[in-house]
Structure 1
Amino acid sequence: MKDSGLVRVETRLESGHHLWVLTQKGHKEAKLLLPRNVRISALRKLECDDEGRPVEADGYDEHAAAVTSTAAVLTGAGFGTPLSWQTEIGHKLLCGYTQYADLTMRAPDAGVPAMLLEVDRVTEPVDDLVAKLRRYTEWFELLAPKADKDKAQMTRGAAVHDFRLWSRIYPATGREGYVPVAFVFTGKTAA
C-alpha cells in the first residue's frame, strides 16, 4: 500500500512499531471502497518543515490506539467484522452535554445487535466512569420525538423501549434493558 501511495508512516512508536495513516489518495480510495454508512476518519495532513521535508507527527494518541486495538481484538475474537465498528458516536442529552462512546459495535451476526464501549487506560477516576454510566442511562431514558409521554409511563417491560429515542437509533436487543455498555480497561499500571 505504501508503494501505491495509499499510506505513509506517521511516526515510530516507543515499541519500535510504525504508526501508519492514509494519504490523500488512500483516503479517497477508502471512501469509494467502504459502504456509505461507514464513517471514515478525517485525513491527517502531512506536516513538513521549512525545507519541505516530512516531520514526524506528535499527534499520536495512546487512547485512540487503545480504542482501535480493542476493536481489532474483539473482531479477531469473532465479534463482528472491521465494518461493525464506529468511534466517537455522540449521544446528546437534554442538558446540552454529549456523551461520546469510544466504540460502537453493531454486529447482529455475532448475536450483538449493538454495544457501546468505553475504553479506559486506567487513567480516569472511578467517579468519572460512574458519571459516564449515569449519562448513558439518562440518554437511554430520553423519549423519542412525538412519543406519547403518558403511554410511556404506563408501559412496562421491554415494550417501554418503543417510546425511547435509543430504540430508533439502535436495533432492538430482544430483551429488557438498554443497549449494553461495556468498560474495557487497558494498560499496564498498578491500578
Structure 2
Amino acid sequence: MTDRAGSVTKPRAKAGQKEARRPRATVRDQADVLGVLGVLKVATATQIMRLVRPHLSDNKAIRNALLVLQADKLVVAAGSTAGPAGKFGAPDRRGEPSQKLWGLTPAGLESAAEKLGRDPELMGGRARGAGAGGAPHAMAVNHTIVAFTCGGTLPGSPAGIGSIDCWRTEVPHPLTSSGKRNVRSDAVFQDKAAGVPLLMVEVDRATESVHVLADKVGAYADFYARRVRDPALPPSSGRGRIGHVDTVPFWETLYRCAGAPAHRRTGAPA
C-alpha cells in the first residue's frame, strides 16, 4: 500500500495478528548458498547443506538463507522433487519425502558468478523450468557431486575430495570449430591439490539406450583427439596440421590449469 505522498509502506497486521518476521541468515550462509546454486543450478536445501555445512543435521539455517535470498529476488522456488501432481504422483511414503527445489534468478546468477569468481560465460544457464518435472537427472548429478565432495557415510568409507568450487555442471565441449556439434558433460571436476587435474563426469540413470551411450563415448573420443593450433604461439599465416609441432590437443586450450605436461602444451615431441 502507499501513503498520501505515494511512498510504499509496509502493510499493517490485522488486530490480534503478529507481523511476519523476515527470516534471519548470516551473510556467509547466503554467499555459500549462492555459490552452490551457481554450480548446481537447481538443488534442495539438504543438498546445499551437505556441501557447505556437512556438520549440521538440520537444514534450517540453509532454508533461512534461501528465504532471505528469495525476498531479495536472488533465488526462486523451482518446484519440488515429487514433480507436478498427477504426473509423477505422490512421493513414495517409504522413501524420501518430497523436497522443495531452489534455483537462481538472473540477478542471482550474476551474484553467484561474483561469489565463485567466474566469468559469466562460464556460468551457463539457470536451468529454468528444470524443477517443474522434479528434476530427476539434476538430482542424480547433485547426489554424485555430494558423494565426491563429502565421501561415504558408512564407517571406513573414504573421505571426500575437493569442494563445490571445483565443479561445473552441464558443460558443452565443441567437437568442431563451428560449435554445431558438441558433447555435453553432466559435470566437470578439477582439483590439482587432490591429484585430479581434470575429470569429466557422466551420470547414467538407465534412461538412455546402449547405442546412445556408445555414441556419447565416441563423441568424447573425438573431443580428446581434436587438435588445434597452439593459441600461445604468435599469429602465423600457416595452418597447423594434425600432429604438427604447432598443434595441441584442443581440450588443453579449454583447461589450461589442468596440469598437462609441458611438452604436450608446447607441442614438442614426447
**TM-score, normalised to structure 1's length?**
0.67
**CA shift in 2, pair 1:163/1:8, >3 Å:** closer
Cα deviation 1:75-100 (Å, max 9, x = unaligned):
11222210111111111123832110
Count residues with an aligned counterpart: 158
| Residue of structure 1 equivalent to 2:168 | 86
Larger strand proportion of the pair: 1
Whether the 8 Å CA contact 2:104–2:126 is kept in 1: the answer is: no
Alignment partners' CA distance in 2, 1:62 and 1:73: 17
Report 1:16-95 matches (<5 A): 16-22=97-103, 24=105, 26-27=108-109, 29-37=111-119, 39=123, 41-42=125-126, 44=128, 58-77=132-151, 78-94=160-176
**CA shift in 2, pair 1:75/1:173, >3 Å:** farther
Rg (Cα) greater in structure: 2
**CA shift in 2, pair 1:28/1:143, >3 Å:** closer
Distance apart, 1:114 and its partner CA: 0.6
Q: Which amino acid aligns with 2:202?
A: E
Whether the 8 Å CA contact 1:91–1:98 is kept in 2: the answer is: yes
Distance apart, 1:26 and its partner CA: 4.8
Q: Which amino acid aligns with 2:80?
A: T
Return 5+ residue gaps in structure 1 as ranges: 46-56, 175-191
**Overall identity of the aligned pairs, in %:** 24
| Residue of structure 2 equivalent to 1:50 | none
**TM-score, normalised to structure 2's length?**
0.50
| Residue of structure 1 equivalent to 2:266 | none
Larger helix proportion of the pair: 2
Whether the 8 Å CA contact 1:105–1:116 is kept in 2: the answer is: yes
**CA shift in 2, pair 1:2/1:149, >3 Å:** closer
* SS in structure 2 of the partner of residue 120 of structure 1: coil
**CA shift in 2, pair 1:22/1:58, >3 Å:** closer
Whether the 8 Å CA contact 2:81–2:135 is kept in 1: the answer is: no
| Residue of structure 2 equivalent to 1:129 | 213
